Amino acid sequence: MLSIIDRTRLSASGCDFIDQPHLEGLLAEKPPPGRLRDVIAKSMAKEPLEVEEAAVLLASDGPADCEQIFDAARQLKRDVYGNRIVLFAPLYVGSHCTNDCIYCAFRRSNSRVVRRTLSPEDLRAEVAALLARGHKRLILVFGEHPRYDAAFMADCVRQVYAVREAKPCVPRPCGAWCPETSSATPAAPGGIRRVNINAAPLDHAGYAVVKAAGIGTYQIFQETYHHATYARVHPTGTRKGDFLWRLDGVARAIEAGCDDVGIGALFGLGDWRFEVLGLVAHALHLQKHYRVGPHTISFPRLQPASGVRLEETSLVGDHEFKRLVAILRLSVPYTGLICTARESPALRREVLGLGVSQIDAGSRIELGGYSETGQAQVMEREQFRLGDIRPLDEVMRELLADGFLPSFCTACYRLGRTGEHFMEYAIPGFIQNFCTPNALSTLMEYLMDYGTAETCAAGMRIIEQELAKLPEGQRKQDLVERLRRIRETGARDLHF
């Protein structure tokens, strides 16, 4: 693990692409008449926007302009992602941290929080609990601490992949295959199919270690792209106090072979409009230098946390939150947008159509939260308070009722359709050839193995509706056959 001095020295070779005076100047400008229309037209052509164009969307804050932006974001989301919503769950591995970020319950000076690192037995219990609820995609979350080095993270990833769950042995509400009554050969026990990581930035060698363990996306939040704000909330002398080392983190990950990276900002630390431009600038920087932008962008808002005092002046309201989601969708058309369970169920429901393509569901962020805690949140054991702790099946049922197609698909990552290759596939036809069929297959799996009767009924209706939309041909025939095998023979993980 690099020392603070070594990290500072190496970070000097990075590129500080955040031109703060330029971005602040853009936010002070008033766009000329007709400029909004031109910018939206570029977005609808699925072209990424420059920061100057994203600033036009931010400046267009009148009611009529906002509705125009919302309508465009809804249409672009349908064009690029259809009605799919990808689901995952966070799994916190350790709360020890050497940083002292003023907004975080895990900061080193906070004596109220319970410090813990999951043992291998604890980790297996958490994964088993998540598998039993139907999850296939996880993101492991680590504090920044010497014990959470690349080797430790890689070992955790391998442990997660090694956990297996036996097939259900009771009849399901949908009349699914049951090993007690079927003579068919059972499928292999299920396991987690994709493990992402949210952790501190590493050096090139560290990224190579975690990549070799089979991770999907390596996610690093800059928290704030505003230099002075960053310095104010991240004390000097801490690992996180180096702005440029963190800013360059995902670039190093790509250079080390992690071609799927995620970025994010914590909204509420400063001017939310500046953070939007910072995210757009970051995405453009990666696209320019590595020919692939971030796979995902996250935009969590500050939430109450044990031992943390929030500054009310910078908190982002619900209307502004909906605006930033829509503007990010229009600015980075092919990047997945993640709305986390920090937000309330009602607000998450509102922003799903504005551009969100991924959500976590059934989430608990206490250490041991899936296998040990009850329904109530335990603030001393979590990083912040969640706004949505509904069970996965309840979230699934609401998505289906609202006409969305829940997906646990991991096919692209496992078949090498990642990074630059994903961008090549992200063209017209990709949704109907790969995304929708794989979403339907994973939805059928969930309904057969975990869904309640009400969720099963809603899910089967969506499957029939989606099949009716697909063009006739061999791909549709293959999909129908695979869905039959999943339902009638217990086949699993049949992906395109």
119-131 pLDDT, tens digit each: 999 999 999 999 9
Residue 411: per-residue pLDDT: 76
The verdict on residue 456 lying in a domain is no
Amino acid at 8: T
The verdict on residue 422 lying in a domain is no
Number of domains in the chain: 1
How far is the C-alpha of 274 from the C-alpha of 297, rounded, in Å?
Answer: 15
The verdict on residue 495 lying in a domain is no
Residue 414: per-residue pLDDT: 74
359-415 pLDDT, tens digit each: 999 999 999 999 997 778 988 889 999 999 999 999 999 999 999 999 999 877 677
What is the CATH classification number for the domain harbouring 369?
Answer: 3.20.20.70
Token output for 189: 């026990």
Residue 496: per-residue pLDDT: 83
Beta strands in 354-490 (DSSP E): 358-360, 405-407
The residue segments making up the domain with residue 78 are 4-391+403-409
How far is the C-alpha of 356 from the C-alpha of 264, rounded, in Å?
Answer: 14
CA angle 222, 413, 16 (to 5 degrees): 25
Mean pLDDT score of the chain, rounded to an integer? 90
Q: Are strands 137-142 and 84-94 parallel, antiparallel or unpaired?
A: parallel
Residue 104 pLDDT level (bands cut at 50, 70, 90): very high
- For the ranges 112-126, 247-261, 291-305, 408-422, the lowest mean pLDDT is seen at 408-422
- C-alpha count within 13 angstroms, C-beta hemisphere, residue 272: 23
| C-alpha pair distances (Å), 179 with each of 169, 172, 176, 187, 485 | 6, 11, 10, 10, 14
Residue 435 pLDDT level (bands cut at 50, 70, 90): confident
Q: Is the pLDDT of residue 6 over 50?
A: no
Judge whether 206 and 148 are in contact, CB under 8 Å.
Answer: no
Nearest to 264, CA basis, from 306, 290, 295, 310:
295
Please state, as a whole number, how many other Cβ atoms lie within 10 Å of the Cβ of residue 3.
Answer: 9
The verdict on residue 453 lying in a domain is no
How far is the C-alpha of 257 from the C-alpha of 204, rounded, in Å?
Answer: 9
The verdict on residue 449 lying in a domain is no
Q: Coil, strand, or helix at residue 221?
A: strand
- For the ranges 17-21, 103-107, 179-183, the lowest mean pLDDT is seen at 179-183
Please list, in sequence order, all residues whose beta carbon lies within 8 angstroms of the beta carbon of residue 293, skipping any fewer than 6 positions away.
48, 283, 284, 286, 287, 332, 334, 335, 423
Residue 8: per-residue pLDDT: 38
How far is the C-alpha of 391 from the C-alpha of 5, rounded, in Å?
Answer: 45
317-336 pLDDT, tens digit each: 999 999 999 999 999 999 99
Beta strands in 214-343 (DSSP E): 218-223, 261-265, 296-298, 336-339
Please state, as a whole number, how many other Cβ atoms lie within 10 Å of the Cβ of residue 167.
Answer: 16
The verdict on residue 337 lying in a domain is yes
Q: Is the pLDDT of residue 167 over 90?
A: no
For the segment 138-155, the average pLDDT, to the nearest whole number, is 97
The verdict on residue 82 lying in a domain is yes
Q: Is the pLDDT of residue 86 over 50?
A: yes
Q: Coil, strand, or helix at residue 86?
A: strand
Please list, in sequence order, all residues whose beta carbon lies within 8 angstroms of the beta carbon of residue 317, skipping any fewer than 6 positions away.
none
Burial grade of 125 (CB within 10 A; 0-12, 13-18, 19 or more):
middle
The verdict on residue 307 lying in a domain is yes
Predicted TM-score (pTM) of this structure: 0.92
Please list, in sequence order, all residues whose beta carbon lies within 8 angstroms of the beta carbon of residue 409, skipping any fewer than 6 positions away.
86, 435, 438, 439, 441, 442, 495
